[in-house]
Amino acid sequence: MKKILLTLILATAYFGVSAKSGDAVEMLVDQVLEKTGDLLRGAGVRGGASVQAPGNQLIEVAFSPNEGSEDLVVKAIGSARSSIGVAAYSFTSPVIAKALLNAKRRGVDVRVVVDENGNKSKASLAALNLLVGAGIPTRTISRYAIHHDKYMVVDKSTVQTGSFNYSKAAAKSNSENVVVIWNNPDLALSYLKHWQDRFDQGREYRSTY
């Protein structure tokens, strides 16, 4: 029963499900499941659906708040055909989580490493639980004062980087930047080596459900 209640609490915080004090537990479960279905289904680029990457070397930039930063991150995820390596400080974004889950469903090898201390909120735990529940290898790292990396390596050829934390605040409230360097394998290899080193140092995250 405790596990069920914890799951509901985390999902409520993550999905923004609201329930009046008199609502039955079953009704809250239904709301959570409905929201979960919406997250997994997604639609278009916003849902992390497959998109075509540019055919040549190209640099794209976007900014926050509300100037395309989150959409550009999701576009990079949607372009993946084989692999995505994610390095993050704070991870709470339902939009980014949805895109990564959809990539996993397309057969992309998605792996994630995040700062341990920066991901102890209810929203972070819910996001990480979703990744692990979908079979995405996820690790936390605590060796450094802060694991402040914020980037993705896509298909060993494209890098998404910038100041953008994978959070709602980064998209809606903060002043942030996102840069995607398409089709630059040499740069991607440098980032991938750094990512692999941090992933290897990480500890397997186990779901709190």
Within a domain: residue 173? yes
Q: DSSP of 172-196, one letter per residue?
A: HTS-EEEEEEES-HHHHHHHHHHHH
149 carries an active-site annotation: no
Catalytic residue, candidates 75, 104, 147, 155: 155
For the segment 4-58, what is each residue's pLDDT rounded down to a tens digit?
445 445 555 555 554 444 344 444 444 544 454 444 434 344 555 788 888 788 9
Q: pLDDT higher for 180 or 41? A: 180
Q: Does 149 lie in the same domain as 65? A: yes
- Segment (H or E) for 94: helix 94-105
Q: For the chain, what is the total number of helices (H) and then of strands (E)?
A: 7, 8
Q: Does 99 lie in the same domain as 144? A: yes
Catalytic residue, candidates 148, 186, 193, 194: 148
Q: Does 55 lie in the same domain as 6? A: no
Look at residue 142 and give its three-state secondary structure: coil
Catalytic residue, candidates 150, 156, 186, 197: 150
Q: Does 193 lie in the same domain as 162? A: yes
Q: Does 89 lie in the same domain as 16? A: no
For the segment 48-104, what is each residue's pLDDT rounded down to a tens digit?
578 888 878 899 999 999 899 999 999 999 999 999 999 999 999 999 999 999 999
Q: Does 164 lie in the same domain as 182? A: yes
- At residue 24, the pLDDT reads 44
Average pLDDT on 162-176 reads: 94
150 carries an active-site annotation: yes
What domain range includes position 99? 45-204
197 carries an active-site annotation: no
Q: Does 183 lie in the same domain as 124? A: yes
Give the position of tokens 């394998």.
185
Supply the mean pLDDT for the chain: 84
Within a domain: residue 10? yes
Q: Does 33 lie in the same domain as 69? A: no
Q: Does 80 lie in the same domain as 6? A: no
Cβ count within 10 A of residue 1: 6
Beta strands in 65-173 (DSSP E): 83-88, 109-115, 138-141, 151-154, 158-162
